[in-house]
Copies of this chain bind each other. A is one copy, B any other.
Amino acid sequence: MTGQAPLADFPVSEFEARTEAVQRLMREQGLDALFCTTDAEMRYFTGFRTLFWQSPTRPWFLVLPADGAPMVVIPEIGAALMRRTWVRDIRTWASPHPDDDGVSLLADALRPFPVVGMPMGRESALRMPLVDFNRMRAACPGLELRDASALIQRLREVKSPAEIEKLAEICAIGSRAFGAAGRLFHEDQTLAEAFRAFKIELLQQGADDVPYLVGGAGPGGYADVISPPDGQRLAKGDVLLLDTGATLDGYFCDFDRNFGIGQVSDTAQRAHRTLFAAVEAALRVTRPGARCSDLFQAMSGVIEGAGYGGGDVGRFGHGLGLQLTEAPSLTRFDQTELRAGMVLTLEPGLEISAGKTLVHEENIVIEEDGVRLLTERTPPELPVI
């Protein structure tokens, strides 16, 4: 009817492979179905990609049986787009609805399955009203819900060659944009102007969107790494940090670069060299079979060896893909074993002085025989512009 072409992010075989892989894990763990409410899971299993998740009004439900094809229970406004994916079982209602915003349809979809897994653990959220979640539970009295966060995370951690290709491309786009820093940033520019110029550069270099750009600037470091830009003007001797998550077909890069404005202090240079060395140390131990905690230890060893505290960000990197940050986490306690196909960020940070930090980040993919950088490596010396 609509004549619209299928969504072209991936061939159908990609989604079939993801579905078969998760169904194998579900059967091993005795789950009859998966139930998901969030953008990333919907996108991963169906290919349904839209910025419309920005609107909190309508819930979107995925029900994936351990045997058979996925079904979705979604507002009618998304039906045309969903028909461009590989999903054929599309159940819709006119939303918003005065008193039943998809709950009955969802309960009908879940009722055949006694044991259902859903993401309930680390990094998960429930993207539907709690009141409606409880109504659904009341409408499915026999339903046993189990946490499937780890199951889905372990699956999503290993990227397919097609996913790695997209991640490599968005990292290359980010690297080219950072390569233009000398043209984009200058003394006396406000942070707001610098951020705007960089977002435009990312788009011109081929990014679809720039959902994430944070940073800061100050003499010898910055106070935090998640601030929006303001009217602060870049001054000689400042270290400017930009940390970007730009996307291509919904896949993220996530890395940062530091630049000295006009000049840079020896203190900041020494800190930057330390972070560079920390990443080098992590790269030396990164291979299939190494653990996340090994990478953390490699980085924190260099940082502590140089006499710095590590700051309070809680980790030195993480998974990367459909989301800006994904499992696993490079922490002292995360024992996840690296597997070929994982895409990670290496993101050591240190406290350069009281209340001031310096961070640095690269993106990598784990390969059978080691590791490959997806980002163009920063030079060890903090570049001055």
Contact = CB atoms under 8 A, between A and B. Distances in A.
Given A98-B333, A129-B121, A56 B323 contact: yes
A162 interface: no
Report which residue of A125, A208, A323 has the largest number of chain B beta carbons within 10 angstroms of its beta carbon.
A125
Contacts of A286: none
A52 B226 contact: yes
Interface string A170-183: 00000000000000
Given A52-B226, A131-B121, A325-B56, A1 B80 contact: no
A203 interface: yes
A69 interface: no
A51 B214 contact: yes
A257 interface: no
B226 A77 contact: yes
A120 interface: yes
Contacts of A325: 54-57
Interface stretch (A4-12, A273-281, A298-306, A367-375): A4-12
Given A5-B232, A77-B312, A124 B56 contact: yes
* Majority SS at the chain A contact face: loop
Interface residues of A, number: 87
Contacts of A52: 212, 214, 226
A245 interface: yes
Contacts of A355: 1-2, 80
Interface stretch (A16-24, A89-97, A106-114, A336-344): A89-97
Nearest to A226: B52
A54 B223 contact: no
Q: Which of A94, A149, A218 has the largest number of chain B CB atoms within 10 A?
A: A94
Interface stretch (A260-268, A313-321, A377-385): A313-321
Interface string A195-235: 11001100110001111111000100001111110111000
Contacts of A126: 125-126, 130
A101 interface: yes
A189 B118 CA distance: 42
A252 to B, nearest CB: 8
Contacts of A236: none
A127 B39 CA distance: 13
A97 B314 contact: yes
A147 interface: yes
Contacts of A123: 56-57, 129
A331 interface: yes
Contacts of A84: 227
A75 interface: yes
A56 B324 CA distance: 8
11 contacts: A2-B223, A7-B230, A49-B228, A52-B212, A54-B323, A57-B123, A94-B314, A96-B314, A96-B315, A200-B200, A209-B211
- In the A-B complex, the 3 residue pairs with the smallest Cβ-Cβ separation, listed nearest first, are A80-B224, A2-B223, A76-B312
Interface of A: 1-5, 7-8, 40, 49-52, 54-58, 75-81, 84, 92, 94-98, 101, 118, 120-131, 147, 149, 192, 195-196, 199-200, 203-204, 208-214, 218, 223-228, 230-232, 245, 312-315, 318, 323-326, 329, 331, 333, 354-356
